[in-house]
Chains A and B, each alone.
Chain A
Amino acid sequence: MHADPVGVLTGAHFIDGDHACSEGAIAAGCRFVAGYPITPSTEVVERIAERFPFVGGMFIQMEDELASSIAIQGAAWGGKKAMTVTSGPGFSLMMEHIGLAAMTETPCVFVNVQRAGPSTGLPTMPAQGDMMQARWGSHGDYEIIALSPNSPQECFDLTIQAFNLSEQYRVPVLFMMDECVGHMIERVVVPPAEKIELYQRRMYEGPRENFLPFETGKDLVPLMVKAGDGYRIHVTGLTHDERGYPDMTVGTQAKLVRRLVDKIHAHADEIIRVEEQNMDDAEIVVVTYGITSRTAIPAIEQARAKGMKVGHLRLVVVWPFPEKRIRELAGRVKAFVVPELNLGQMVYEVERCAAGKSNVVSVPHAGGTVHQPKDIYAAIEKSLRG
């Protein structure tokens, strides 16, 4: 299906990433947002609060992030596409509810405009320090999907994608922006509504008798119903069977948790998105995501101008990690160089997949600003020598 033209501001805009994210959500059909003010993400909900009364949306500023991150799940079971928006400290508070959304297979989007931590850290300055938290922050075993935009245009485009993935796989999708991308102002082109493809939530409409709300077919994703449709469903964060009833047994635990993980693993090839440049002759591959992909470009260009064979692999979808692609490259390339605005997080995944067949060089940064291209260049040069 296509986007509802009512919410789509077709045309060229000069806006920041936060506002582009709001517009992406509206275009994606999001009509419920719950949030709590936190720098540097607040502009997303401010624009939502301004725009929603004109597009049939409902925004509520909740009393804290715990409330925001579960109000959206209530709204999802009420039939809405729903989103919450936060930054580091609020993201930490939301962890339990990411687990709830994973466990109850509630489609919803969590936007995290990352700032430097730990704790209150640098509230107005960028970092990419929540990447592992996004993957592992809630307790227990589960899978999520996370995306990392590197421009206001992508904040628009990928927010739509985040909703589509969330609806398709009934999984919380984490939209991992950073302060730089959030506050960067660039040209954002919003296409006509009929050019925006939306994934429509797949609803069960069969008989009420013997309905199993958590039964799945081959794709491992159950059909959804919403409260008030007469199916009298039970939804619980406890380990549950296909009826949705609590069943605290080893067998049901294994069956449920494995399916929650497998439904993402089985579709990893369709979900994963990377962007590659200069990979044909690459001996060194710079692996980036988010804002760091843009600081890496001058470093890569400088290195190539000096004859070094450097390629660029950018993670657009960060979780699930493009394990297969990195394994293919490992051994064929000399080294992976991984600049991140943290002291080394996604580099662990690159190391794991490189499995000792290629060198892996981390280019860490404690956050607060972006890398100097010369630091990334130095790492490229060093990895060629090493």
Chain B
Amino acid sequence: MPEELYELETAIPENPIEEFLRMDRMPHIWCPGCGIGTTVNCFARALETSGLDLDKVAIVSGIGCTGRVAGYVRLDSFHTTHGRAIPFATGLGLANPGLKVVVYSGDGDLAAIGGNHFIHAARRNVDMTVILINNMIYGMTGGQVAPTTPLGATASTAPHGNFEQTFNLPSLAESCGAVYVARWTSYHLRHLTKSIKEALAKKGFSFVEILAPCPTLYSRRNKLGDGLDQMVYYRDHSEIRNGADTKSVALDFQGKIIVGKFVDRERPTYLQAMTEHFGKRLGDRYVPSDEMRKLLHAQDRN
């Protein structure tokens, strides 16, 4: 590298999101052109403006490329087993309701092996923000077909093309009871950052699906170019339709991508429902957990 270029690089000021990252773990494992890092940037910026005490934010990931996010973010972070980030987060959040719990994982992890937990956490309206990176493929294991792979797309375990119906995740989340449902792509940086911030502020099960390119395994195999080509595709083929009926936002192979905030509603969270129910049913005999008592006490004072 020429001397002057080297100097230029080292002269770059510290990135403002560095305080949100474990810089001692860099470089990360993600490929050039991968969209996951971009979403982490948006997440960090959303945290920055959220007003949350970062000591009280915990992040839980499963397994896969996106599963590595927990390890790079300077929060209390848990890298659990494949598909089980949501039930871990459920236990963590119920044990310590003062925490803001974020689940950050991939489509294979949350929608395939973890699909059962996803629907039940949404049904219970457990207080957590689920950020799902949908790259339409199993990246970590080498590009196998996922429940999110579009019809006709090729994957290493669907070498002749995928013929299975694709999951429409916003519709799934809404029908199970999520209180906040949005979809963006890793191209929509400002919208996405704002959306994550909104999701974090929400009480209950909030869900943000983010389409992100996997140039190494999805785009290359399907002859869609590199990461930049996918950004161009996201830009040209996305349509922002806030409030869209989630039944109408299914994805297909290189088709139109409907993005936006689809659902924003109120419903008692699991803990609210439980506390209220036991309070009514059991009266003074009900003893909420120590942490719940503290939280209820703090709410009373406000």
Binding site for B on A (CB under 8 A): 6, 31-32, 34, 53-58, 60, 62-64, 66-68, 70-80, 82, 96-97, 100, 226-238, 245-246
- Is A79 a contact of B95 with CB atoms below 8 Å? yes
- Is B94 a contact of A228 with CB atoms below 8 Å? no
| Whole-angstrom CA separation of A96 from B288 in the bound complex | 32
- Is A234 a contact of B70 with CB atoms below 8 Å? yes
Residue B159 interfacial (CB < 8 Å): no
Which chain B residues lie closer than 8 Å to A55 at the CB level? 287
Q: A213: shortest Cβ distance to chain B, in Å?
A: 10
| Whole-angstrom CA separation of A53 from B67 in the bound complex | 35
- Is B278 a contact of A80 with CB atoms below 8 Å? no
- Is B92 a contact of A77 with CB atoms below 8 Å? yes
Which chain B residues lie closer than 8 Å to A56 at the CB level? 287-290, 293
Q: B102: shortest Cβ distance to chain A, in Å?
A: 12
Top 8 closest pairs, chain A to chain B, by CB: A78-B95, A74-B91, A71-B91, A74-B92, A67-B87, A78-B96, A236-B79, A75-B91
Q: A9: shortest Cβ distance to chain B, in Å?
A: 15
| Known contacts A57-B289, A71-B90; is-contact A229 B55 (Cβ 8 Å) | yes
| Whole-angstrom CA separation of A230 from B99 in the bound complex | 11
CB-CB contacts of B75-108 with A at 8 A, as 1s and 0s? 1111111011011111111111011000000000
- Is B91 a contact of A34 with CB atoms below 8 Å? yes
Q: B279: shortest Cβ distance to chain A, in Å?
A: 10
| Known contacts A78-B95, A245-B25; is-contact A70 B84 (Cβ 8 Å) | yes
Which chain A residues lie closer than 8 Å to B254 at the CB level? none
Binding site for A on B (CB under 8 A): 22, 24-25, 54-56, 58, 60, 70-71, 74-81, 83-84, 86-96, 98-99, 116-117, 120, 278, 282, 285-291, 293
Please list 28 pairs of residues, one from A and one from B, whose beta carbons are closer than 8 Å in the complex, sorted by A's number: A6-B287, A32-B91, A32-B94, A34-B91, A53-B278, A53-B285, A54-B287, A57-B289, A66-B84, A66-B87, A66-B117, A67-B117, A70-B80, A71-B94, A74-B87, A74-B88, A78-B94, A79-B96, A82-B95, A227-B96, A232-B75, A233-B76, A234-B71, A234-B77, A236-B70, A237-B81, A245-B22, A246-B71
| Known contacts A56-B289, A64-B116; is-contact A235 B77 (Cβ 8 Å) | yes
Which of B75, B83, B94 interacts with A58 by CB under 8 Å?
Answer: B94
| Known contacts A32-B94, A70-B88, A70-B91; is-contact A234 B287 (Cβ 8 Å) | no
Q: A284: shortest Cβ distance to chain B, in Å?
A: 46
| Whole-angstrom CA separation of A218 from B201 in the bound complex | 45
| Known contacts A6-B287, A71-B88, A227-B76; is-contact A58 B70 (Cβ 8 Å) | no
What residue in chain A is nearest B286 (Cβ atoms)?
A53
Interface centre among B55, B78, B88, B91 (most CB of A within 10 A): B91
- Is B90 a contact of A74 with CB atoms below 8 Å? yes
- Is B80 a contact of A237 with CB atoms below 8 Å? yes
| Known contacts A237-B80, A237-B81; is-contact A74 B116 (Cβ 8 Å) | no
| Whole-angstrom CA separation of A67 from B80 in the bound complex | 12
| Whole-angstrom CA separation of A82 from B87 in the bound complex | 14
Which chain B residues lie closer than 8 Å to A229 at the CB level? 55
What residue in chain A is nearest B88 (Cβ atoms)?
A74
- Is B79 a contact of A238 with CB atoms below 8 Å? yes
| Known contacts A53-B286, A236-B79; is-contact A62 B87 (Cβ 8 Å) | yes
Q: A81: shortest Cβ distance to chain B, in Å?
A: 10
Which chain A residues lie closer than 8 Å to B54 at the CB level? 232
- Is A74 a contact of B76 with CB atoms below 8 Å? no
| Whole-angstrom CA separation of A70 from B94 in the bound complex | 13
